[in-house]
């Protein structure tokens, strides 16, 4: 109470009201000292000993969040505050209300000027120009942030050490022979791993993570799914860091050349791609990157969201190439994996075989030879209408399919059971672009099928 009274003497009317509030509090209630309040310590770090702070701040009573005004630029505040003084800005004598009023006036004045000018309020911040100070600061901040995040990741030795800890401190299920741990074992392993690896593994041993896994009747979880979860988390985080480093404009999206650069960096670490001929690397990266954009860029904006890439099946399919060799992977699996060297060479050879005039693009006549000539003429016409851009040569009248469009075409036909593949094909079948198929559409399409199969029946 003496502290409150002393502050009241220094602060005038505010101190008296604070003292009255303290006197009306229950006898057993103690007001914590200012030094024990984190927000007061943070304030004093910037303002020194606390001179200029109001009585509420000195007593450790925090201001309600609802009364805290929005931030404004320091230059604008200095220009408007002027005669208000540091005492008012230090929450003395209702200063927070005065500050809120001034900021509201600034906001209303800007609204009035925008209305008079007839302009739309600014909601888009232009990216800094390349080579400017802002651009360099942004790039440096991004580099330091990604470096810090990378240092917090578990490396291969850390993962091995964690696996040893899990194996040494688990119990064997008598019924299934699986290695399991209960929550007490889980906490003990967390302590051991923290001692051996460091604090960076501690986040994996939270109670919420333990609850994510299926438990048996004794409340135990298997150690293998938990370890695989840790490995997948580390792998995805590392992939996101690598992709963010290649994201030049830091917008969270990768452009085709950035995705190709990411894949090119992975090739030395993928066992099944290490022996790839150097001359084929660039072509392989184009083929591999196209699948990411086919599935992660449905609106064909020319950029793929990093989050979608990380969560897509494409990345998982690419990482399957870590398997060491032919003994672990059959020829069928290699052919079915779009990212395998066998599949990439097959696609490339197919395009070269169809390109009879070797001009780097496919005409309608050349595409008819795809799949041994089983495609109907109307379907090929619709593919060119919907998915092939007009050529820049020949006055825009000639239209031929380039390599990227051919990759989309093959991906759609080989992934007809996916939403992306169905969307591609449905646009071809929707003859009038109405968003649905009519009886006449189906009649026209199947007439081509009957004609191609040699059946001349009148429908």
- 320 belongs to a structural domain: yes
Q: Cβ–Cβ contacts within 10 Å for residue 160, how many?
A: 11
If one counts the domains in the chain, the total is 4
Residue 73 has pLDDT above 90, yes or no: no
In terms of domains, do 261 and 336 share one?
A: yes
The pLDDT value recorded for residue 47 is 39
pLDDT band at 103 (very low <50, low <70, confident <90, very high): confident
Say how far apart CA 388 and CA 382 lie, in whole Å. Answer: 9
Asked if 283 and 365 sit in the same domain, the reply is: no
pLDDT of residue 184: 95
- Taking a C-beta distance cutoff of 8 angstroms, is the pair 272, 333 a contact? no
CB-based contact 193:237 (threshold 8 Å): no
Q: How many helices (H) and strands (E) does the chain have?
A: 23, 5
Q: Is residue 11 part of a domain?
A: no
The CATH number of the domain holding residue 375 is 1.10.238.10
Q: How many Cα atoms are found within 13 Å in the side-chain-facing hemisphere of 57? A: 24
Is pLDDT at 21 greater than 80 in this prediction?
no
Q: What pLDDT score was predicted for residue 115?
A: 75
* pLDDT, tens digit, 9 for 90 and up, residues 156-205: 999 999 999 999 999 998 888 899 999 999 999 999 999 999 999 999 99
For 143-155, what is each residue's pLDDT tens digit? 999 999 999 999 9
Output the average pLDDT for the chain: 79
Is residue 455 very low, low, confident or very high in pLDDT (cuts 50, 70, 90)?
A: low
Buried b (16+ CB within 10 A) or exposed e, 117-140: eeeeeeeeeeeeeeeeeeeeeeee
Evaluate whether 289 touches 260 at the Cβ level (below 8 Å).
yes
The residue that leads in pLDDT, 284 or 94, is 284
CATH number of the domain at 276, please.
Answer: 1.10.238.220
Residue 387 structural domain: 355-452
Q: 1 pLDDT band (50/70/90 cuts)?
A: very low
Inside any domain, residue 316: yes
Whether 431 maps to a domain, the answer reads yes
76 and 44 co-located in one domain: yes
- Band (pLDDT 50/70/90 cuts) for residue 330 is low
Last residue of a domain, one of 317, 344, 371: 344
Does residue 155 lie in a domain region?
yes
Q: Within 10 Å of residue 84's Cβ, how many Cβ atoms? A: 14
Same domain for 365 and 432, yes or no, is yes
Helices (H), 82-125: 86-89, 95-117
User: Do 359 and 340 belong to one domain?
Assistant: no
- Whole-angstrom distance, CA of residue 104 vs CA of residue 98: 10
pLDDT tops 80 at residue 311: yes
Extract the tokens encoding 65: 């969040």
- Residue 172's alpha-carbon distances to 176, 210, 218, 221, in angstroms, are 8, 18, 13, 11
Long-range contacts of 450-456 (CB under 8 A, 24+ apart): 451/376, 452/374, 452/375, 452/376, 452/377
Domain assignment present for residue 429? The answer is: yes
Q: Are 158 and 228 members of one domain?
A: yes
pLDDT in tens, 244-255: 999 988 889 999
Same domain, 371 and 394: yes
Q: Is residue 288 domain-shared with residue 314, that is, in the same domain?
A: yes
Q: In terms of Cα–Cα distance, which of 298, 301, 320, 297 is closest to 235?
A: 320
Are residues 448 and 359 located together in one domain of the fold?
yes
Q: Is 319 inside a domain boundary? A: yes
Distant-in-sequence, close-in-space partners of 380: CB < 8 Å, separation ≥ 6:
364, 367, 368
Residue 341: is its pLDDT beyond 90?
yes
> 211 pLDDT exceeds 90?
yes
- Residues in CB range of 229: below 8 A, 6 or more apart: 204, 209, 212, 213
249 domain-assigned: no
pLDDT of residue 83: 42
230-242 tens-digit pLDDT:
999 999 999 999 9
Say yes or no: 329 and 364 in one domain: no
Confidence category of residue 29, pLDDT binned at 50, 70, 90? very low
Percent of the residues in the chain that have a pLDDT greater than 70, as a whole number: 72
Same domain, 216 and 175: yes
């Amino acid at each position: 109470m003496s502290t409150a009274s002393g502050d009241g003497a220094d602060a005038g009317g505010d101190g008296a009201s604070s003292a009255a509030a303290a006197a009306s509090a229950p006898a057993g209630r103690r007001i914590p000292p200012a030094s024990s309040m984190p927000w007061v310590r943070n304030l004093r770090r910037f303002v020194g000993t606390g001179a200029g702070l109001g009585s509420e701040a000195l007593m450790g009573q925090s201001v309600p969040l609802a009364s805290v005004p929005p931030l404004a630029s320091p230059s604008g505040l200095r220009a408007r505050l002027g005669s208000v003084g540091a005492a008012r800005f230090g929450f003395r004598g209702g200063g927070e209300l005065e500050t809120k009023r001034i900021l509201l006036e600034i906001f209303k004045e800007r609204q009035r000027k925008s209305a008079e000018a007839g302009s739309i309020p600014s909601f888009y911040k232009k990216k800094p120009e390349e080579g400017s100070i802002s651009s360099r600061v942004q790039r440096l901040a991004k580099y330091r942030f990604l470096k810090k995040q990378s240092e917090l990741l578990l490396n291969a030795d850390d993962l091995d050490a964690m696996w040893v800890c899990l194996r040494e401190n688990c119990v064997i299920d008598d019924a299934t022979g699986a290695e399991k741990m209960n929550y007490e074992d889980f906490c003990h392993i967390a302590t051991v791993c923290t001692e051996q690896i460091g604090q960076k593994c501690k986040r994996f041993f939270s109670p919420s993570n333990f609850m994510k896994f299926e438990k048996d009747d004794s409340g135990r979880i298997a150690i293998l799914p938990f370890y695989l979860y840790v490995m997948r988390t580390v792998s995805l985080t590392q992939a996101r860091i690598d992709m963010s480093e290649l994201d030049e404009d830091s917008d969270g999206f990768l452009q085709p050349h950035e995705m190709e650069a990411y894949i090119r960096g992975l090739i030395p670490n993928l066992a099944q791609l290490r022996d790839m001929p150097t001359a084929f690397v660039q072509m392989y990266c184009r083929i591999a990157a196209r699948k990411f954009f086919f599935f992660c860029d449905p609106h064909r904006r020319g950029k793929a969201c990093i989050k979608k890439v990380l969560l897509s099946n494409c990345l998982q399919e690419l990482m399957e190439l870590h398997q060491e060799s032919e003994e672990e992977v059959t020829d069928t699996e290699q052919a079915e994996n779009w990212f395998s060297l066998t599949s990439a060479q097959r696609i490339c050879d197919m395009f070269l075989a169809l390109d009879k005039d070797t001009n780097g693009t496919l005409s309608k006549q050349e595409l008819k030879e795809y799949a041994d000539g089983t495609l109907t003429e109307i379907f090929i016409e619709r593919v060119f209408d919907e998915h092939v851009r007009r050529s820049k040569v020949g006055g825009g009248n000639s239209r031929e399919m380039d390599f990227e469009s051919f990759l989309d075409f093959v991906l759609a036909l080989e992934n007809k059971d996916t939403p992306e593949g169905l969307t591609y094909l449905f646009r071809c079948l929707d003859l009038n672009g109405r968003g649905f198929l009519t009886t006449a559409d189906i009649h026209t399409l199947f007439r081509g099928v009957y004609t191609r199969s040699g059946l001349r029946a009148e429908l």
